[in-house]
Amino acid sequence: MKDTRDFLPFALPDIQDEEINAVVEVLKSGWITTGIKTKEFETLFAEFIENNDNRDLSANNYIKNHKIEAIAVNSATSGLHLALEACGVGRDDEVITTTLTFTATAETICYLGAHPIFVDIDKETLNMDINQIEQKITPKTKAIVPVHMAGLPCDMEQIIKIARKYNLKVIEDAAHALPSMLNNTLIGNHDSDAIVYSFYATKTITTGEGGMIVTRNKEIANRCRIMRLHGINKDAFDRYTSNKPSWYYEVVAPGFKYNLTDMASAIGICQLKKAYAFYNRRLEIAQRYFEELKNLPILLPKDVVNPNADIHSWHLFIIQLQTHTNRDEFIKYMSDNKIGTSVHFIPLHMQPYWKNRYHLKNEDYKTATAYYQQAVSIPIYTKMTNDDQSYIINTIKSFYTLGL
């Protein structure tokens, strides 16, 4: 069913005049690196998380006396690295995480000389199998890094319970999870040590490249701030804009270059204001996929665990092809009909480096292996029109009608 339309991408950022004008304003200001806009973005993001979407906070009174701190960074990868370092992860420590994630989740553990310990996934949620966590804990275990796959929240209450039992740190990889919610609590408001978000081009809000660390622990926040800019104990903006001579600074640790620019932060401020509008549109698209694809031999994703208390951000809409459908043929058919798709993810136990480095076997990760063999992510983004989605749905239906 060839079509004359332009290619429909798998994902597309939603950038409007507000973002463009905000960047122009920064360019004209004379200060384009980390400065006042980044501080504003951090403040607004912290307030966004702490306000919990202005929903009923009766179950979350424990957060009211704890000020959230947000630290902007140039990527979620950087954020994970800083958060792990600030939580004390070091050489030969072990960090438990899921095999079904992007390699950045595991590689940041290795940056510190530590070792990722992978667990299989839950078949229904695609998140890490909580029942496997305790059996992976050893005297070397230092932390757990859950990943909210596609935007469906992990069971943070159970994960944190296990972590506290063994005195482990919890750093959430929330790259997909804005504004995901578990039990009426926004991801970022649970009792984790740090939460890391991504603002990459395909995410639910974007700054092009960028990320944010959220924590209530002042020591972790201070360490992340110092380490994100060369281990210097004073930001460049403060040094160069002070009314009094303040050129002096001290290098207190061998840090990194992970700061976010004011140009990116200006985009982030605009995007954050639209976060729930973006979510509502993604939800509309997801709900239509559920309705239109329900009678096909396709396993649709888990939406939420508790419909009255949870939010799936719908960063991704992952289907699993059933029967003997050839995934490669499906992807090629979609591409031939000008529709982009992707696969999230090739599990890390199947990737050459991780497989060889840690002698990983497919049979030890049976659920993730089986999932990977039939998983496809289909387009979901806010600029998608109803007509675009109709075309995607009809193309999927035609694939099965033709018996491919």
Sorted by sequence, the CB contacts under 8 Å of residue 4 that are 6+ apart come out as none
d(C-alpha 79, C-alpha 127), whole Å:
21
CA distance 187 to 277: 18
- Exactly one of 37, 142, 203, 274 is catalytic; name it: 203
Place of tokens 């200006």: 266
DSSP letters, 107-133, are HHHHHTT-EEEEE-B-TTT-SB-GGGH
d(Cα 6, Cα 260) in Å, to the nearest integer?
A: 34
Q: Is the peptide bond before 345 cis (omega within 30 degrees of 0)?
A: yes
**How many Å apart are CA 231 and CA 224, to the nearest integer?**
9
The CA R_g of the chain, rounded to the nearest whole Å, is 22
Matching residue, tokens 């409007």: 16
Q: What is the DSSP string of 293-344?
A: HTTSSEEPPP--S-TTT-B---S-EEEEE-TT--HHHHHHHHHHTTB--B-S
Residue type for 353, please? Y
Measure the CA–CA gap between 268 and 37, rounded to whole angstroms. 9
Are 172 and 145 a contacting pair, CB within 8 Å? yes
Structure tokens at 281: 């549109």
Is residue 39 flagged as an active site residue? no
Q: How many CB atoms lie within 10 A of CB 392?
A: 25
Quick check: 194 and 80 in contact, CB under 8 A? Answer: no
Among 326, 330, 370, 346, which residue's Cα sits nearest to residue 101? 346
Are 169 and 144 in contact by the 8 Å Cβ rule? The answer is yes
3-state secondary structure of 75: coil
266: helix, coil or strand? helix
Tell me the one-letter amino acid at 385. Answer: T
Active site residues: 203
